[in-house]
Amino acid sequence: MRALAFAPARTAYAVYAAAAFLALGLTALLAAVALPGVQRRRAAARALARSFLWAAGMPLTVRGMDRLVAGQCIVVANHASYLDGLVFTAALPARFGFVIKREMSAVPMAGLFLRRIGSEFVERFDRNRGAADARRVLRNATNGHSLVFFPEGTFTRTPGLLKFHTGAFVTAARAGCPVIPAVVRGTRAALSPSGGLPRPGRIEIDILPAIHARAQAGEASAAGLRDGARQAILLALGEPDLTYSGDSAHPPHTGHRRSVRASRS
């Protein structure tokens, strides 16, 4: 009965949040098309992402910003909701780009916007094209680009941390840059993977200490980065380790089976 009583208010909020997202999203697209330079476009996207979170009643708190090294780095974070990309856009400086599945490049308006802010698209299904995309991401990282990965490549309907694929960590090891683990909380409740209506609520990001590549090269160094980052995120997140417990009752959300072909282990 209580849920029924709140249903009209939740529906009204969902309509309001969708309208705010549409209005600010169109503004972000226009800014991305009109502004010169990727850094200016990313700065505008960051400001508009922050504006949406404020308007939607989802205040964002970021702790540990001083742990972002001044030079190049790769941020890796847990993945809990479709909101995660927007939240990290709001949180991180404009020097960071995102690695995104190639299917997004074909989405009207969204694909154009993501290209204009310098996102890296990576093929998930075609092996040859995926390998070429992975080489391009590595080349850009070697040239000093800072990137954001969600190394689980998917999210589940229940809390927990899935296995990490190695693409982000191979890129970091070969580029010789540190990995910065980060934990996001609150996005699962704000926009559930189960498909319920959005709801207001606090969102938090904790940026954890940097992890540097081991002395050995290649796969051993990448595996060390992966295992160290995952353990740090798992401890800070405080959710179940789904590598061992599994999530058979609630399989990964099919819309995000893998963010990038390059991140497969």
Residue-range domains of the chain with CATH: 2-263 (3.40.1130)
Q: What are phi and psi of 211, to 5 degrees?
A: -120, 130
Letter string b/e over residues 167-197, b meaning 16 or more CB atoms within 10 A of that residue's CB? bbbbbbbbbebbbbbbbbbbbbbbbbbeeee
Q: Which amino acid is at 24?
A: L
Instruction: Summarize pLDDT for 107-147 with one digit per residue, the tens.
Output: 788 888 988 998 877 765 555 665 666 676 766 665 667 89
Instruction: Summarize pLDDT for 189-240 with one digit per residue, the tens.
Output: 999 888 888 999 999 999 999 998 775 556 778 899 999 999 999 999 999 9
List, in sequence order, every residue forming a beta bridge with 122; answer none if it has no partner: 101
Instruction: Summarize pLDDT for 27-43 with one digit per residue, the tens.
Output: 999 999 999 999 999 99
Instruction: Summarize pLDDT for 150-174 with one digit per residue, the tens.
Output: 988 778 888 999 999 888 898 888 8
Q: Which amino acid is at 110?
A: A
Radius of gyration for the alpha carbons in the chain, expressed in angstroms and rounded: 18
